[in-house]
Amino acid sequence: MEKTLVIIKPSGVQRGLVGEVIRRFELKGLQLCGMKITLLDDLILREHYAHLSQESYFGRILKSMTSSPVVLLCLSGVECVQVVRTMAGITNGRVAPMGTIRGDLSMSMQENIVHTSDSTENAKIEIDRFFNPHEIVDYARVNHSVIYATNEV
């Protein structure tokens, strides 16, 4: 099964939306295989958001992402990366479609509840960045046969 990373950002933690975000992923049929709450520091965030380091708003990202704990999730499922990105919605919560996490729960471009991996390659890098191998648990779910057709897994 494909895996992806989700970070429930401080905006989601502070607003008490952790359960709602996880509920949506589980209702969809995605499997939770890693989860932890932690405080992120500038070092890991500078690595994670290196592609944005030259942007004028980079300092705001660091300040926001270190303002409170985050919840890190590793999810698995068929085409999991794309499924999670579709469920999250576009970055700007004000224009994200209703029915998406950001469209239903966010009014901001930055304080937009979740970060999601943007490709299978980056998902692997990001999972390895935030989780130790022993923190990811692969297990057989008893309800796979009612989530996927036999030719999909």
Residues noted as catalytic = 115
User: Are 26 and 83 contacting, i.e. CB atoms less than 8 angstroms apart?
Assistant: no
Identify the CA nearest to 47 among candidates 60, 35, 63, 62: 62
Question: Strands, E, within the chain: which ranges?
Answer: 2-8, 31-38, 70-77, 114-116
Q: Name residues whose C-beta falls within 8 Å of residue 127's C-beta, 6 or more positions apart in sequence.
A: 3, 4, 5, 34, 74, 117, 136
For 45, the 3-state DSSP assignment is: helix
Cβ–Cβ under 8 Å, residues 79 and 10:
no
Shortest CA distance to 5 belongs to which of 98, 106, 123?
Answer: 123
